[in-house]
Amino acid sequence: MNGIYEVYLSLSIPERMLAFLVLVPIVGGFLAGVDRKLSARLQGRYGPPLRQPFFDVMKLFQKERIVVNKFQNFSIVLFFLFTLFSGALFFAGADLLLTVFSLALAGTFFVLGGFAVGSPYSHVGAERELIQMVAYEPMVILVAVGMYQVTGSFKVAEIVQYQKPLILYLPGVFAGFLYILTIKFRKSPFDLSLSHHTHQEIVRGITTEFSGPTLALIEITHWYENVLLLGMVYLFFGFNPWLALGASVATYLFEILIDMNYSRFKWQLVFASSWIFTAVSGVSNIIVLSLIK
């Protein structure tokens, strides 16, 4: 692991970006397969093979392209491109704060895609997506701020090479980030907008009017986003690559377990609980850190 890590650090910035663009869909698709397989086992089912997400995406690309209007697909393309840009920045070792803002912009285009059509299900999903963004964005920004307070830099390349464990300085920030990851990974009880269980009350939510290649693009974008978020978890334990990798995998498995054990909250509770948790764990951690540094 240390050898692989050293090889990665030796790559140039364009090479790191290229590695991200090529390898992350494979990792993200595999994680999606693990998610479906483990979820099925927890429900007493056998579940699909681990490669099933790749088959599903390939099948979607083969379907006919049907759109309500041109802006609908244009928004999703921008959602995809800005997510790729965010991940490329992160894994190239660039500015973490810029990565966070770029990812927020990508989410905005996803919302606009939901509003671009006339479906009431899509509009409800887009409105809930906006609520989720307002709920989790403060905590994501606090992650970048907290890491800057400890390391003195927003550069991911410098943060990941910091020799002291960030988790010891930022336990509250990590706890808050873990809390909002349930929203970002679109897991119950915070799966408001996408409704990944198709029998629920808003059908497919914000993706109701998307189909074929566009829906495949949304799925791939989520793969990129999930790996980027796990990369941010990695930073908290970056002083030890093996521990950091284990913590990232454990975080993903923990979110699957949460998803299987809770029903969906109402949006009021999602919003209030996220901000309260952000204030109690994240903001208080930042304040204490500013006093002792």
* Token code pair at residue 71: 């802006």
Instruction: Say whether pLDDT at 1 is over 60.
Output: no
Instruction: Say whether pLDDT at 7 is over 70.
Output: no
Domain-wise residue ranges, the chain: 2-292
H-type alpha helices, 43-69: 52-61
d(CA 163, CA 99): 23
Which residue pairs from 68-73 have beta carbons closer than 8 angstroms and sit at least 24 positions apart in sequence?
A: 68/116, 68/117, 68/118, 68/209, 69/116, 69/117, 71/112, 71/113, 71/116, 72/113, 72/116, 72/117, 72/209, 72/210, 72/214, 73/113, 73/214
- pLDDT top residue among 131 and 207: 131
Q: What is the pLDDT of residue 2?
A: 54
Mean pLDDT value across residues 228-240: 92
What 8-state DSSP symbol labels residue 154?
Answer: -
Q: What is the pLDDT of residue 266?
A: 84
pLDDT digits 0-9 by tens, 98-133: 999 999 999 999 999 988 887 888 888 888 899 999
- Chain centroid to Cα 43, Å, comes to 24
pLDDT digits 0-9 by tens, 61-89: 998 777 777 788 899 999 999 999 999 99
- pLDDT top residue among 269 and 2: 269
Q: What is the pLDDT of residue 199?
A: 45
* CB burial readout 181-194, b (16+ within 10 A) else e: bbbbbbbbbbbbbb
Q: What is the pLDDT of residue 167?
A: 94
pLDDT digits 0-9 by tens, 243-272: 999 999 999 999 999 988 887 788 888 899
Mean pLDDT value across residues 190-207: 65
Beta-bridge partners for 155: 95
From 176-180, 190-194, 271-275, the region with the lowest mean pLDDT: 190-194
Q: What is the pLDDT of residue 195?
A: 61
| DSSP codes joined into one string, 68-98 | S-HHHHHHHHHHHHHHHHHHHHHHTT-BHHH
